[in-house]
Amino acid sequence: MNEPLHPRPRAAVVTGAGSGIGRAVAHALLDAGWAVALAGRRREALEETAADRDLASVVPTDITRPDDVTRLFAHVRERWGRIDLLFNNAGTYGPAGTIDEISVEDWTSAVATNLTGSFLCAAEAFRSMKNQDPQGGRIINNGSIAAHSPRPRSVAYTATKHAMTGLTKSIELDGRAYGISCGQIDIGNTHTELMTTLGVGVGALQADGSRRVEPTFPVEEAARTVLHMAELPASASIGTVIITASGMPFIGRG
């Protein structure tokens, strides 16, 4: 039988696609021929990411709202027929402070975005991948090296990123019967707006109370790593990968 002249592109959902790692990953996937649904709260930023590419679809989404997430994945199924990949990337650094200094409201907001939002997206992706024909797909969660070792005054962010690791492992285990794999990328000090928030350019707070200018690395290298994970054959999966700036204070922090 002859192959179709225009085979269906592999379809991906990237959350937090309006900036930083999400934008870089979306571009890497699009350059590799993937169709990508760009999800995020800011339409204008998503449109800048899309840059009028034919295989990019802008879908403004608040991942803390279940109805928004359901609509996002329905859009992908309707446009491309199936879902092959979710890059669960949207997140916030949340409040800075020790546990006695942050408010319940700020804690709840960070958990809603970083953990519950990731849960909602993964659940919709899993449901689609389980029910489509043929079954299967891949979920990649953006953790952080905070999933391994915290920075000072980052209790909400660190707790949610540790929880992300449990989410990743549980999805991987539960997805085996349906050809669904789940892995996690833990990124340290790639050059994005978040690094500016952390004060890396002027000296990031260290465990001993000092500040240190930390090295960063190009966000495109993190995106290339995600693309490699995404394009593995179904018979292979990367459970966890850590990519950091060379020389950053991670191994042996403090």
The Cα 79–Cα 70 span in angstroms is 14
Crossing angle of helices 219-230 and 20-31, in 10° steps, is 50
Q: Residue 61 in contact with residue 68, Cβ under 8 Å? A: yes
Residues 6+ apart with CB under 8 A from 25: 14, 17, 87, 89, 222, 223, 226, 227
Question: Residue 157 catalytic?
Answer: yes
Q: Residue 146 in contact with residue 191, Cβ under 8 Å? A: no
β-strand pairing of 240-244 with 211-212: unpaired
Residue 154 phi/psi, 5° resolution?
-135, 35
Neighbours of 99 (CB within 10 A): 10
The CA-atom distances, in angstroms, between 127 and each of 60, 87, 122 are 21, 15, 8
Crossing angle of helices 117-131 and 155-175, in 10° steps, is 10
The CA-atom distances, in angstroms, between 187 and each of 15, 147, 176 are 16, 10, 26
Catalytic residue among 87, 126, 157, 217: 157
Name the 3-class secondary structure at 55.
coil
Where do runs of H (alpha helix) occur along 35-113? 43-50, 66-80, 104-111
What are the residue numbers of the active site?
157
